[in-house]
Amino acid sequence: MHGRVILVGGGARSGKSRFALEYAQKLGERRLFVATAQAFDAEMRERIRRHRDERGSDFATIEEPLELARLLGQVHDVDVVVVDCLTLWLSNLLMREDSVEHIDNQVAAVVTALKARRQHVVLVSNEVGLGIVPESAMGRIFRDIAGRTHQRLAAEADEIYFAAMGLVVRLVPEPVKAFRPGQVPQRTPLDISTLDIATEPDQR
């Protein structure tokens, strides 16, 4: 039996990563966090350390900034994998001077790995296509690659969420539903399609 592919997008500080981690904790006891960030300076090293401390012992962590498809194909003996984030991974490939064609092929390889997995996979990504047209050619290439990547993964995802204005909105499956901070979908043993059970007693 295959797990579910869950795509969570949104802007910076939108709550998407928090939601992904809280949701993953409901999806299984054996949890893996795949970090795609690279620590190029002291600020990023401190950010990575802080996020690792916040996850604590709830997640095992693997840092993989480049070979995401390979890693996903090798992961076993976990219930859920959180990848945070796809856009940093794409940026890493672009900054390595990979060609657009090669990056598209890497995205296709990730899709192939997702189709073969058995565990749940939660993919976190930044929506970068809602602002003005980037001034630089590199920025426009990155925006286009990210947009195509989101389209390809959305075609495979069982659940899609978008974070905005402090809420996380479920787009797929229907019905569309907004989750406030601290709320996540939850399934019951009797019906794995149940997605609307509040996780806090005072949810409205």
Q: How far apart are CA 15 and CA 164, in angstroms?
A: 8
Catalytic residue among 51, 76, 120, 150: 51
Q: How far apart are CA 100 and CA 89, in angstroms?
A: 14
Q: What is the pTM of this model?
A: 0.88
120 is catalytic: no
163 lies in some domain? no
Q: Which amino acid is at 12?
A: A
193 lies in some domain? no
3-state secondary structure 32-89: EEEECCCCCCHHHHHHHHHHHHHHHHHCEEEECCCCHHHHHHHCCCCCEEEEECHHHH
84 lies in some domain? yes
Residue 53 is predicted with a pLDDT of 74
Residue 188 is predicted with a pLDDT of 40
- Split into its structural domains, the chain has a count of 1
Question: In tens digits, what is the pLDDT along the chain, a chain of 204 residues?
Answer: 579 999 999 998 999 999 999 999 999 999 999 999 887 778 877 877 777 777 888 999 999 999 999 999 999 999 999 999 999 999 999 999 999 999 999 999 999 999 999 999 999 999 998 988 999 999 999 999 999 999 999 999 999 999 999 999 999 999 999 999 999 997 643 334 445 534 443 333
CATH of the domain at 26: 3.40.50.300
